[in-house]
Structure 1
Amino acid sequence: MSARSALDALPAFHTQIAQWYAKCGRVELPWRNLARDGSQSYEVYISEIMLQQTQVSRVLEEFYFPFLRAFPSLRALADSSEQEVLRLWQGLGYYTRARNLRKCAQICVQKHGGMLPRGVEKLKSLPGIGDYSAGAISCFGFGESVGFVDSNIKRVFSRLFALPNPTHSQLQSLATKLLDTNDSFSYNQALLDIGALVCRARALCLVCPIREFCKGSNAPHRYPQKITRVREDLVLHLFVIVFCQSHKDFIALIAPQRDLSHNHSQLYAGLYNLPMLPTPLPSMSKSFTHIGRFKHAYTKYNITAEVLCTRCADRQAALNLIDSLPFDKHENLTFVRLDSLPTLPLSNLSHKALKLLP
C-alpha cells in the first residue's frame, strides 16, 4: 500500500504529530518552556546557536545555564570581552558562533534597544543568524507562525517525499505548506524531535508517528543522499614548555591576536594555544621528551598531534630555549601560571595535549 501524501491529508498529519509530541517529545527542555512574547527571545536565541552542531545533552548539562548566568541579557553579552565569551564557549567548538553572538548583541544594543528584533528578515540581517535560526527564534521566542528547516527536518522531509537531493528552496516551500498554523510551536518542536529521535541516520521507521505518509520508508537510507565530508590530514607538534618560579609552575602559550593568517594558530583564532609546528627540527629531540600523541578532528582537518615536553630551570632558560627554536617570532608568546589555565579560553587541542603531562 502506497503512502498517502501529507499535503493531501494535512489534518491527519498534524494530529499524528501533535499526539506523538505530547507523549514522546522533549517537552521538558528549558528553552521550550519560556514566554513566547519576545521577552525571553534571548534565551531561545542562545539555545538555538548552541544547539548547532552540538548534542542537546551537552548543551543542557555543560553550557546553557553557565552562559546565561555569566551573560543574562544581550546588554551583558555586548559589554563582555571576546575572551570571556570564548572561555565559556570552550568545548562547544565552531567558535565563530561565539564571536557572532557578541557582535549580534552589540548591534542589538546599538540599533534595537537591547532586544532581538521581531521578524525573520530582521533577524537574518544579524551576524550568525541564518534561515533556520531566524525561523526558530521567530517561532519559539516570538510566537510567530513560521516554518523552517534544519538538518533534522531536512532528513524528515526528504524521506517523507522521497527526495534524494532536495534544494533548500524545495524544503522551505514544504516547511511552509506543511506548517500547522494552529500550533506552530509544538508542531515545529515535534518535527525537530522526530528528526533527532526517530528519523535518524538509521531510521526507526516502525515507531515513526508519520510513517503512513512517508514515501521513503521502504528505503530511508536513500533519502537524502549522503554528502561525503573530506577532511585534510594535518600533523602538528605541540610543545609544552614549563618552568617554576616562586614555587609556581608556568607554561608557555601563544596568546590570541587579531592577524593569525601567517601561522597554525588560526586553527583556534581567539583562543590560547600551545606553541606548535608542522615539523620540528631534529635537534629539538635533545631538548624535548615525546610524551604522547592523539587524534583530533577540527573543522576541515584530521589532526595528528604529537606532544613534546620540557621543563626549564627558570624563565630566562625558557626564553632562551624558545628563542633558539623555529617558532614564528611574530606570535604573541606569553607565560601563564598552570593553575590559572581554567580561567583562560584555551583551545581544546591544547587541553588534550596537557592531559598527557606526567
Structure 2
Amino acid sequence: MQVKEFQNTLLSWYKVKGRHTLPWRNKTIPNRAYVVLISEIMLQQTQVKVVLERYFFPFLEKFPNLEALSQAKEEDILLSWQGLGYYTRPRNLQKLAKICAKTGLPREVESLIKLPGIGAYTAGAIACFGYDVSVSFVDSNIKRILIRLFALKNPSQKQLEQKAKAILNLQDSFNHNQALLDLGALICTAKSPKCTICPISKFCQGKDFWQTLTIKTQKRNLKKSLHLAICIKDSKIALIKSTQKLYFGLYNFPEISHSMTHQQIGILKHAYTKYTLKVHCYITQQSAIANSKAEFFHTDSLDSIPLSSLALKVIKLLQVKNILKSPL
C-alpha cells in the first residue's frame, strides 16, 4: 500500500465529509485538553448525539476545569451524569481531577495512561486531540478499519497498534485520527459497511470478504428478577443509597422479597452489564422496608438527587399511572 497516497485520500474525504462541527474538535476552544478528556469519557458506551444534546455542555458549565471538578461534591457530579450510566466513569474523572488539578493534564501518553479511568485509546486521544502530539491509537472503530484494510484475522492488540502506527500521518495526526474515527462511524460500520462509497476502498484488502473478518463477541445474558418497593408517605418517597460498586452513591428503590400481599403496579424490563432484569414494582407500606436503610425524599426534590437509570424508569411508571407527579 502506498501510505502517502492513503493518507492524502483519507484527509481529502475528511475535509469534505468529516464531522468538523463537533465542539471537542475545535482547536481554539479554551482548556482544550480538559474538554477532550470530558468528551472522550462521555463517549465511552454512549452515542455522540446523546452526549451532545443532553450532557456535554451542562457538565462543562458546571465543572469548567479540573480544579472545579476536583472540589465538587460527588453527588453533584453523579447528578450531572445521571442517565449516562457506567458511573465508575465520573468517579474516576474526579479522582483524576484531584491528581491533576494543580499541574494540569500531562501531554505524554505514558503519563496519561497511569491516571484513573484512562486506557491506551483515551490516553492517545487526549495527547493527540488535546495537545497535537503525533500519536496513533486504536478504538473499536479504528480496530474495525484496520482489520478490513489489512485483512487481519484475529489480530492481537499489539498487531493493531503496529498497523495504526504504520499508517499514521505524522504531519497531520489530529485530522488523520479524526478521519479514521469518522470513517468507522459513518462508512466502515460494523454490520453494513458502505464499501461502494468508501474513500479508501482501493486500499482495502478485505472489502470483498469483510464478513469473515468481523470479530463477534458473545455477550453474557443472565436473567434475573427484582422486586422493588414503592413506599409513599406524606408526599415523600422512600429511596435507598446504593453501596454496590456499579451504582455506588446513586439512589434506588428498596428491594423486597416477593409477596402476594403487596399491590403490584407494573413490570419493567431493564438491562445492565451482563444482566437482563424483570423488575416487579409494588406499592407497599413502610413496614415492608423497615429493615432497610431507606430515606424519604419529597417528590418535588427528586430532580436534585442522583438516581439510577432503573429508578428513573420506575418514576416514569409512577407518572404514567398517575401515582406520582415529579419534576423529572
The TM-score bracket by the shorter chain reads: over 0.9
The CA RMSD over aligned residues, in Å, is 1.5
Q: How much has 1:212 moved relative to structure 2?
A: 0.7
Q: How much has 1:231 moved relative to structure 2?
A: 2.2
Percent sequence identity is 48
Q: How much has 1:204 moved relative to structure 2?
A: 1.0
Could you tell me which residue of structure 1 aligns to residue 325 of structure 2?
none
Structure 1, residues 287-319: CA drift from partner, whole Å, max 9, x if none?
x22111121110121111111124x5xxxxx2x
Structure 1, residues 100-138: CA drift from partner, whole Å, max 9, x if none?
0000000112xxx24101100000010001100000000
Could you tell me which residue of structure 2 aligns to residue 154 of structure 1?
143
Q: How much has 1:267 moved relative to structure 2?
A: 4.5
Q: CA 1:145–1:255 in 2, change beyond 3 Å: closer, same or farther?
A: same
Q: Which has the larger radius of gyration?
A: 1
Structure-1-length-normalised TM-score:
0.86
Structure-2-length-normalised TM-score:
0.93
Q: How much has 1:15 moved relative to structure 2?
A: 1.1
Rounded Cα–Cα distance in structure 2 between residues aligned with 1:39 and 1:240 = 45
* Partner-residue secondary structure (3-state), 2:306: coil
Q: Is the CA contact (8 Å cut-off) linking 1:26 and 1:193 kept in structure 2?
A: yes
State the aligned residue count. Answer: 318
Structure 2, unmatched stretches of 5+, are: 322-328
Could you tell me which residue of structure 2 aligns to residue 255 of structure 1?
241
Q: Is the CA contact (8 Å cut-off) linking 2:148 and 2:213 kept in structure 1?
A: yes
Q: How much has 1:78 moved relative to structure 2?
A: 0.1
Q: How much has 1:25 moved relative to structure 2?
A: 0.6
Q: Is the CA contact (8 Å cut-off) linking 2:86 and 2:246 kept in structure 1?
A: no
Question: Higher mean Cα deviation, 292-301 or 192-201?
Answer: 292-301
Q: Does residue 34 in structure 1 map to residue 24 in structure 2?
A: no
Could you tell me which residue of structure 2 aligns to residue 353 of structure 1?
314
Q: Is the CA contact (8 Å cut-off) linking 1:253 and 1:336 kept in structure 2?
A: yes
Runs of 4+ in 1 over 3 A off after TM superposition: none
Structure 1, residues 223-249: CA drift from partner, whole Å, max 9, x if none?
2321111121111111111011xxxx1
Rounded Cα–Cα distance in structure 2 between residues aligned with 1:81 and 1:332 = 22
State which of 168, 175, 182 in structure 1 corresponds to 2:157.
Answer: 168
Structure 1, unmatched stretches of 5+, are: 261-265, 313-317, 324-328
Counterpart residue type for residue 349 of structure 1? L
Q: Is the CA contact (8 Å cut-off) linking 1:292 and 1:308 kept in structure 2?
A: yes
Rounded Cα–Cα distance in structure 2 between residues aligned with 1:34 and 1:337 = 45
Q: Does residue 339 in structure 1 map to residue 300 in structure 2?
A: yes
* Partner-residue secondary structure (3-state), 1:251: strand
Q: Is the CA contact (8 Å cut-off) linking 1:78 and 1:105 kept in structure 2?
A: yes
Could you tell me which residue of structure 1 aligns to residue 74 of structure 2?
82
* Partner-residue secondary structure (3-state), 2:225: strand
